[in-house]
Structure 1
Amino acid sequence: MKLPTVAPETMLPKGVKDFLPAKAAKIEFLTQTLKDVFARWGFRPVITPSLEFLSVLEKALGADLREKTFRFEDRQGDQMLAIPPDMTPQVARIVATRMREMPLPLRLSYSGRVLRHAEQQAGKDREILQAGVELVGLDSPEADAEMIAMAVEGLQAVGAKEFTVDIGQVEFFRGVMDNLALEGPLSREVATAIAHKDNSGLRALLFDADISDAAREEVLALPRLFGGRDVLEKAASVVRNERSRRALDNLSRVLDFLDVYGVQDHVTLDLGEIRGHEYHTGITFQGFLPGLGRAVCNGGRYDNLTAHYGYPAPATGFSFNLLNLLFALDGTLAPRSAGAIDVLIVQSGADKMVAQRLARALRQAGFAAARDMYPRNLEESLQYAGKMNYRYVMTLGPAGEGVTVIGVTDGTTRKVGLDALLAGDFSSLTA
């Protein structure tokens, strides 16, 4: 009886995916490449748990992340558990409770999965693959600039050619909003209009608001404060509140350091940018690639998180969204992440011991090698090797005689001696 066909996507909850070898190899490439960048900047890895006590995790989550947290009862205890929606609060807990005796600054890196409740709409991921860093113990523009420069280097390392890193300053935005002194619902509507660069909607919201002309001028300028370094001068000519002015000074100093790093061509300023998490306290930034409306990396300063666990320390950091990176770079990653297996060994006859000895010698020499144990002829083995991304097929006679190396992509063949191969001479595979 023929079994009914089931669409693969109907066998998984919405917002999560399977990754078959080709995609998985690309994700592995992205992850390892970024981890190599982090290591070059002196960051050391930590591994966070996939479960936390909800009461502990929530100490460092703003309302935005609390709403997205998966939670459930623990059958082995009476406390609620949570699947972390973000790794930064976890690192903040680790620093405050496990590393507080270590000298500052701490340079920590991580990679892994988080889960977030998401709106049920097409293409919205609930499972997020992250790779990122946290720099704890430094409250300086140089530290903020280091995060942005690392993000640029990471994007270059994974092969991104054209990209921008949009930099904001939440203290600038909060200074403007504090000066408005709007009621809760109207304040949220104004913030939404600013985030969407909706100038006409923003003007309509403020038309009857009981605010000064100076405060109205400040907030109406926000959606237009986007571009190069000249944005700082435009902002300085508009804002009057001290909180925003201090933020502009901080941003100017960060840009000075970025000039030294030589990444200014990739940087834009957006003082009306309010995306991010509630825990951010200063510089924020997001990386964007052409054709993708979602950020591939997010970061910024968060000086209050570790204090929730009794250990106040300034901090900044960022993380890459690996699935967004994969989506944006998918077509360019194949040559660099193909993960070709070097050799498929085919031996005729009943005794396969020579083939196994040869496979062992290849692996000891650093090659990836597998014995074709499936019963099929040579043509079928070659077809299999092509589909499974092998570089070579190596054929042996029943006693190991007549060794031939066949290039899978170009069909070239060369005869080699078995004794030379077992002695470690693999020049036929590297020529």
Structure 2
Amino acid sequence: MPSATPEAMLPRGVKDFLPIKAAKIEYLKHGLLDVFAQWGFRPVLPPSLEYFHVLEKGLGAGLRERTFRFDDRQGGQLVAIPPDITPQVARIVATRMREFPLPLRLCYAGRVLRHAEQQTGKDREILQAGVELIGLESPEADAEMIAMAVEGLKAVGASEFTVDIGQVEFFRGVMNGLSLPGELAREVETAIGHKDNSGLRALLAEAPISDQAREEISALPRLFGGREVLDRASAAVRNDRSRRALDNLARVLDILAVYGVEAHITLDLGEIRGLDYHTGLIFQGFLPGLGRAVCSGGRYDGLTARYGFPAPATGFAFNVLNLLFALDAELEERTRRSTDVLIFQSGADKALAQRLARLLRAAGFSAARDIYPRGLEDTLEYARKMGFRYVMTLGREDEGVRIIRVADGVGLQASVQDILAGDFAFLTD
């Protein structure tokens, strides 16, 4: 009977990440966290397990259904693995930080777990790196999130990308007051989300709504593009709620122009994802060749209130694994890291090799001992495969040191005394 493949030994939707991929993930995560820190955000570290009845207060229906939950044998209560970090931060702010002065600028990086349909092949484990800005209700706060997302994408090596901005209040203003039956309302939302103009027209043809309302809804899938979309939207809608949303977007775009990021911005007023969660401006970041967002976020003014602390809030998170998929090739050079020295010493006494390894590390170099019993040729082959720059071979202390550059096999001789004295000039090329 054939043995199981490595992938078959894991549940669907989760992965192992070997050193090369893991190095890229760490690069992405730390690059994003560095950007967050530059903008004044401080880290929080939520737990990987929560009481479900507490966590679900901050979850919309979609995330609630995708939450892993199980009985806790120790406490007898239902616990859950969070499917998103933002509700956890909302709980922390409302219950642990309510006496802190506002605004709060908080950031994080961590893993979440979500149920996914088996046939989709989607990841169930998601690595998020994001920020939450609590206590500010202003276009400048919304613009800050988008500008940070652009800066984060640039920091990790993305050059071509777009950030699509929507406004759920604009959509709600259009839909507000319409007496559409529940199923028809859901079908209309789906058609708008898929930019299905013909399907939307067919749905609205017999709907019990005014011609003006029909005209406003029909315009939504076409309201996509640059700043000129605001003028088209203003001409298409007449309700006050949608007009206030357009005013908010105009002010955000003015601030983004000051940040110099408007070249990456598109408007999509037919974007309605996040209706369970968000209360105003929403956005998603996309890279060429990847059909799913690498980051998403927006305003969610009602979330902390669910935990007893009303406060305006906005934020966003990167999906680090989507970033990895999109930037895999570009990250190759940025994350390639060699270990400086592999130290080989024959004979039973390895004290000299151990002393030199300690000195190299103290000087800021990376050094490993080739403890595995093998000859020099096998050690050189191992060093080539594992990314070492040099192999340092030692005999007795009076025999000197031979240093072999792994890339081309060129060797040079040095005295043990010079190296013990800290002469590591051979490592600076």
Give TM-score scaled by structure 2 length. 0.98
Deviations 1:372-408 (A, max 9, x none): 0112222221221122122222111243733122222
Among candidates 208, 211, 215, match of residue 210 of structure 1? 208
CA contact (8 A) 1:276 1:298 kept: no
Q: Which amino acid aligns with 1:372?
A: D
Distance 1:281 1:94 in 2: 20
Indicate which of 130, 141, 146 corresponds to 1:148.
146
Distance 1:421 1:318 in 2: 51
Aligned-partner SS, 2:176: helix
Unaligned runs of 5+ in 1: none
Distance 1:360 1:400, change over 3 A: farther
Matches for 1:180-219 after TM superposition, within 5 Å: 180-219=178-217
Which of 351, 355, 360 is matched with 2:353 structurally? 355
Match of 1:108 in 2: 106
Do structure 1's residue 8 and structure 2's residue 6 form an aligned pair? Answer: yes
Does the alignment pair 1:225 with 2:217?
A: no
Q: 2:58 aligns with which of 57, 60, 63?
A: 60
Helix, strand or coil for the counterpart of 1:366?
A: coil
2:403 and 2:414 in contact (8 A); partners too: yes
Question: Structure 1 residues 401 and 44 mapped into 2: Cα distance closer, same or farther (>3 Å)?
Answer: farther
**What CA RMSD, in Å, does the superposition of the two structures yield over aligned residues?**
1.3
Distance 1:223 1:43, change over 3 A: same
8 Å CA contact 1:43, 1:108 repeated in 2:
yes
Moved over 4 A (4+): none
Matches within 5 A, 1:305-324: 305-324=303-322
Cα pair 2:114 2:125 within 8 Å, conserved: yes
Q: How many residues align?
A: 429
Output the amino acid matched with 1:87: I
Out of 259, 275, 283, the residue aligned to residue 273 of structure 2 is 275
Q: Which residue of 1 aligns with 2:33?
A: 35
- What is the Cα deviation at residue 334 of structure 1? 1.4
Output the CA distance in 2 between the equivalents of 1:160 and 1:259. 20
SS of the residue 1:361 aligns to = helix
| Deviation (angstroms), 1:4 | 3.8
- Decide whether the 8 Å contact of 2:168 with 2:275 is kept in 1: no
- Aligned positions of 1:56-95 closer than 5 A: 56-95=54-93
Deviates more, 1:409-418 or 1:344-353: 409-418
Per mean C-alpha deviation after superposition, the further-off stretch among 249-258 and 270-279 is 270-279
1:71 CA displacement: 0.5
For residues 400 and 42 of structure 1, the distance between their equivalents in structure 2, rounded to whole angstroms, comes to 56
CA contact (8 A) 1:96 1:310 kept: yes
1:390 aligns with 2:412: no
Mapped partners of 2:246, 2:373: distance in 1: 70
Q: Contact conserved, 2:72 with 2:78, CA < 8 A, in 1?
A: yes
Alignment partner of 1:323: what SS?
helix
TM-score norm. by structure 1 comes to 0.97
1:309 Cα deviation from its structure 2 partner: 0.9
| 1:96 counterpart letter in structure 2 | A
CA distance in 2, matches of 1:201, 1:408: 64
Matches within 5 A, 1:262-341: 262-276=260-274, 278-341=276-339
Give the whole-Å Cα distance in 2 for the aligned partners of 1:345 and 1:122.
48
**Whole-angstrom distance in 1 between the partners of 2:251 and 2:126:** 33
Which range moves more in the overlay, 268-277 or 356-365?
Answer: 268-277
**5+ long unaligned stretches in structure 2:** none
The question of whether the paired residues in 1 share the 8 Å contact of 2:397 and 2:416 is answered with: no
